[in-house]
Amino acid sequence: MVADTQVLTGTQPVSMRIGLLWGMTESVLPQILAEFKERFPSVQLEIMVGSHEEICTALRQQKLDMTISDQRKAFSGNYANICLTSFPLYIRVGHTHPLSQSKSVQMKDLQVYPALLLAVKGQEKIESDYYRDNLGFQSEFNFAYSPEEAALQLMVSTAYFTFEKMTTKATSNLYCEYCEFPLLQNQQPIERDYFLFYHLEHAHPYTEDFLEIAKRYFR
């Protein structure tokens, strides 16, 4: 309590460590961070961007104060899990891909093409197991280890890349030479929920302030 009082009264430096899943910079996250920094200039934001496994492990090890990501495991009673928003699942392919003229694609139509997954070296099986067992993808899995590598692989192969469409704005320059369209299951869009997670016993004093701003942007 003394430490919290010192933090809130500004008598010691304050940092807040936030873990973000790859791709979140395409969402409203930059605006959320900018407003938080404007309202609380004394709080130093430390951002970690990585895979689901990386940021969740860092949260468990108390190297992060909160994370924003999808749910991949059963919720734990030790953590707050607050749903912020949901994003539709999309497919990205190169302009020469057989599906490039599609307006949308069914999950079953992807089986004949390899799926390209973004992964950290050594975590390939974790990613492929999740996409196969939890999301239902039946394709062969290939891996890229950076967004740049994924973009290049799409350009020269028949692989497809799965991602959550987090913005209605034009695609970033990195992917301007590619085609994107929604992924459907039984003719219905597939939505992925994104949550803010933090440890209930180690909640940062500014968690509620950050959450209030995030909810307003994500609504």
Task: Give the start-to-end residue ranges of the domains of the chain.
Answer: 2-85+193-218, 87-191
- How confident is the model over 85-114, as pLDDT tens digits? 999 999 999 999 999 999 999 999 999 999
Tell me the mean pLDDT in the region 6-25.
Answer: 76
For the domain spanning 2-85+193-218, the CATH number is: 3.40.190.10
Residue type (1 letter), 148: E
Spatial separation of the C-alpha atoms in residues 58 and 21, rounded to whole Å: 12
pLDDT confidence of residue 134: 92
Reported pTM? 0.84
- For residue 198, the model assigns a pLDDT of 97
- Residue 1's Cβ-count burial label (10 Å; 0-12, 13-18, 19+) is exposed
Question: Nearest to residue 90, comparing CAs of 175, 217, 149?
Answer: 175
Do β-strands 178-185 and 105-106 pair in parallel, antiparallel, or remain unpaired? parallel
pLDDT exceeds 50 at position 20: yes
- Nearest alpha carbon to residue 89 among 154, 138, 160, 139: 160
User: pLDDT digit string (tens) for 190-213?
Assistant: 999 999 999 999 999 999 999 999
Q: How confident is the model at residue 24 (pLDDT cuts 50, 70, 90)?
A: confident
Is the CATH code 3.40.190.10 the one for domain 87-191?
yes
pLDDT at 177 (0 to 100): 75
For the chain, percent of residues with pLDDT exceeding 70? 90
Domains 2-85+193-218 and 87-191 equal at CATH topology level: yes
3-state secondary structure of 209: helix
β 191-199/160-164 pair status: unpaired
CA distance 96 to 69: 32
Please report which confidence band the pLDDT of residue 73 belongs to, taking 50, 70 and 90 as the band edges. confident
Which residue, among 141, 139, 154, 140, has the nearest Cα to 109 in the 3D structure? 139
CA 186-128-27 angle, 5° bins: 70
